[in-house]
């Protein structure tokens, strides 16, 4: 069986005997002839056969373009910050392997040959595409082409989310960010409908379409207004807390259930005289002197709500927080970085770092 390939102007004639193989390299034996118009055929050298159909590498494109732009081997070497002999060897190798002469050398300078001009146009196009690719990669690295869409329950969004976002902004200064404050039941639609990539939650739901990643463990504290009789105490028991007017979240709410459990375990009546929807509202009501409350450490971390004092609760109050994501959905590198930053902030916002900041020392009057 024989096949022939003919290219006009410079006609390339290839005869392949498919039933015959070379012993050393195990490939079809090839007879290759280059035939100019109106001239006799000659057998092509092995290097010429190797060059047929070979592709240029990006490194060869870069070097050939550098010589074309600077006009000298030395100039190309300086442009690419490599040695001149290496540039010269690569140019010669590329010309030999492709069977094309790119440059004509005159008085130490390199000028494009007529047959190579169309190739240089393509090389410039390739280089422009590489520049465009580099620019896009740079923009992605700064977040310029993307938006981070996240959700959070109020207890985590008050202090922790802003601190994590500050870290994200430092890493991706051009990233657009959309933050949604959600109740736990609102998080399901937010994720399943693709409105956001993740939600920071203080409670884990059983849902087949969601995954819950561990975030941080926290504790509950009793908060009292400044000047209250419990203010200044190191700790207080659940039995003592219920003796005072209580402000809190509805115990049927998943978040409110976290606070109610410490009283349920002791079989104490958790009688809320003022019920509020959000922890920040509870803190404001306590600050106004309308009662005391039990609240999670993340709502009041880093002095996030001045005007109230924190008292540790005797009973164990540990609870876990989570990041909810849509099951099976890939996470962007931006949301992965946000989760990492939020986890660092929440794991570092322990009991030693909560409560109002210390007052500055007073300077005695002279």
Best CATH choice for the domain 58-142 from the list 3.40.1110.10, 3.20.20.10, 1.10.10.10, 3.40.50.300 = 1.10.10.10
Is the separation of the CB atoms in 218 and 244 below 8 Å? no
Over the range 49-85, which residues count as b (16 or more CB within 10 Å of their CB) and which as e?
bebbeeebeeebbbbbbbbbebebbebbbebbeeeee
- Topology annotation, domain 220-317: D-Maltodextrin-Binding Protein; domain 2 (3.40.190)
* Domains of the chain by residue range: 10-51, 58-142, 147-216+321-353, 220-317
Look at residue 364 in the predicted model and tell me its pLDDT.
35
- What are the structure tokens assigned to 39, written together? 């001239």
Nearest Cα to Cα of residue 240 among 315, 295, 352 = 315
Decide whether 147-216+321-353 matches 220-317 in CATH topology.
yes
Residues of the chain with pLDDT under 50: 1-53, 350-366
pTM comes to: 0.64
Number of neighbours of residue 106 by Cβ within 10 angstroms: 8
Look at residue 17 in the predicted model and tell me its pLDDT.
35
Look at residue 119 in the predicted model and tell me its pLDDT.
80
The per-residue pLDDT for range 194-225, each reduced to its tens digit, is: 999 999 999 888 899 999 999 999 999 999 99
- Topology annotation, domain 147-216+321-353: D-Maltodextrin-Binding Protein; domain 2 (3.40.190)
The per-residue pLDDT for range 256-311, each reduced to its tens digit, is: 899 999 999 999 999 999 999 888 899 999 999 999 999 999 999 988 788 899 99
Measure the CA–CA gap between 54 and 99, rounded to whole angstroms.
Answer: 10
The helix or strand, by DSSP H or E, that contains position 301, with its residue range, turns out to be none
Look at residue 131 in the predicted model and tell me its pLDDT.
75
Number of neighbours of residue 131 by Cβ within 10 angstroms: 10
Measure the CA–CA gap between 87 and 110, rounded to whole angstroms.
Answer: 13
Look at residue 124 in the predicted model and tell me its pLDDT.
77
């Amino acid at each position: 069986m024989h096949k022939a390939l003919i290219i006009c102007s410079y006609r390339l004639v290839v005869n392949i005997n498919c039933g015959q193989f070379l012993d050393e390299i195990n490939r079809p034996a090839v007879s290759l002839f280059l035939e100019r118009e109106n001239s006799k055929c000659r057998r092509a050298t092995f290097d010429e056969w190797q060059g047929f159909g070979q592709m240029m590498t990006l490194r060869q494109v870069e070097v050939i373009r550098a010589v074309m732009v600077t006009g000298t081997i030395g100039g190309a070497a300086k442009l690419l910050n490599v040695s001149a002999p290496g540039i010269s060897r690569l140019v010669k190798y590329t010309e030999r392997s492709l069977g094309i002469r790119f440059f004509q050398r005159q008085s130490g300078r390199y000028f494009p040959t007529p047959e190579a001009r169309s190739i240089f146009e393509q090389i410039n196009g390739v280089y422009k595409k590489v520049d465009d690719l580099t620019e896009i990669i740079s923009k992605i690295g700064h977040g310029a082409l993307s938006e981070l869409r996240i959700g959070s329950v109020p207890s985590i969004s008050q202090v922790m989310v802003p601190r994590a976002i500050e870290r994200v902004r430092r890493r991706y200064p051009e990233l657009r960010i959309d933050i949604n404050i959600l109740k736990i039941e609102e998080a399901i639609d937010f994720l399943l409908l693709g409105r956001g990539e993740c939600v920071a939650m203080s409670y884990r739901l059983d849902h087949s379409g969601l995954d819950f990643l561990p975030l941080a463990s926290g504790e509950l504290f009793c908060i009292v207004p400044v000047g209250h009789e419990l203010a200044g105490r190191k700790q207080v028991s659940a039995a003592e807390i219920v003796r005072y007017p209580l402000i809190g979240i509805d115990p049927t709410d998943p978040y409110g259930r976290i606070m109610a459990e410490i009283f349920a375990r002791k079989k104490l009546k958790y009688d809320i005289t003022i019920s509020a929807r959000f922890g920040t509202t509870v803190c404001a009501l306590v600050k106004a002197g309308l009662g005391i409350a039990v609240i999670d450490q993340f709502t009041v971390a880093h002095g996030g709500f001045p005007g109230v004092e924190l008292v540790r609760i005797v009973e164990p109050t540990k609870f876990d927080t989570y990041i909810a994501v849509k099951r099976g959905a890939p996470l962007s590198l931006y949301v992965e970085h946000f989760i990492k930053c939020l986890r660092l902030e929440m794991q570092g916002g322990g009991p030693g770092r909560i409560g109002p900041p210390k007052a500055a020392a007073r300077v005695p009057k002279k």
